[in-house]
Chains A and B, each alone.
Chain A
Amino acid sequence: EAQVTQNPRYLITVTGKKLTVTCSQNMNHEYMSWYRQDPGLGLRQIYYSMNVEVTDKGDVPEGYKVSRKEKRNFPLILESPSPNQTSLYFCASSYVTDAGELFFGEGSRLTVL
């Protein structure tokens, strides 16, 4: 089954404790991206990657890091989480030739205390 898998789905952590949210897709998509969803703001792009070893900042990259060492994986790293990073995070992927036709993961709800 074609899917984008995120882990963990739910996480409560404390300020400053490094965490990683993993994202994996099994569709051989070149393009992968991370979004955060906050009430009234819709989805805002954090980082995206057009292919292996190619990453770029989205609209709200501050406080986040990503890496793309393999085509299928695109982890999101919060080196020192802060309460304003409490949010619902989505990973998405697509073929580069199908810009905008994104497949989304089920989301990771992160709470930073």
Chain B
Amino acid sequence: AQSVTQPDIHITVSEGASLELRCNYSYGATPYLFWYVQSPGQGLQLLLKYFSGDTLVQGIKGFEAEFKRSQSSFNLRKPSVHWSDAAEYFCAAVSINNDMRFGAGTRLTVKP
């Protein structure tokens, strides 16, 4: 079955430190890949997406993600985390027949 896995349930980083959130997918063919962010009490907002081409994609709020086909991964990164980045982050994938799956989410805490 197709699935998306986020191995880290909760990550804590200090403000100004770098961040990497992990995401792995299991699909028959390479799906379209996404990262969403959910702030407390809010819906999800799209951060970035990968369809094809350049494996390093840039998103909003200074985030980027790298697609690695050999590792079936799509990890999210940010060079310097701000306190306002504290939120829950979801990786998602969708196949060409519109089968969309979300990971279980990674909650990010930012220490002052």
Contacts and interface: CB of A to CB of B under 8 A. Distances in A.
Contacts of B90: 42-43
A45 B104 CA distance: 13
Nearest to A31: B98
A40 B98 contact: no
Interface residues of B, number: 23
Contact of A40 (B45, B102, B104): B104
B43 A100 contact: no
Given A100-B100, A101-B34, A107 B92 contact: no
Interface in A4-45: 4, 31, 33, 35, 40-45
Main secondary structure on B side of the interface with A:
strand
B44 A90 contact: yes
Nearest to A56: B98
Q: Interface size class for chain A?
A: 20 to 34
A106 B98 contact: no
A48 B34 CA distance: 18
Contacts of A35: 102
Interface string B48-88: 01000000000000000000000000000000000000000
Interface of B: 6, 9, 32, 34, 36, 41-46, 49, 90, 92-94, 96, 98, 100, 102-105
9 contacts: A42-B6, A43-B102, A100-B93, A100-B100, A102-B36, A104-B36, A104-B45, A106-B43, A107-B43
Interface of A: 4, 31, 33, 35, 40-45, 48, 50, 90, 92, 99-102, 104-107
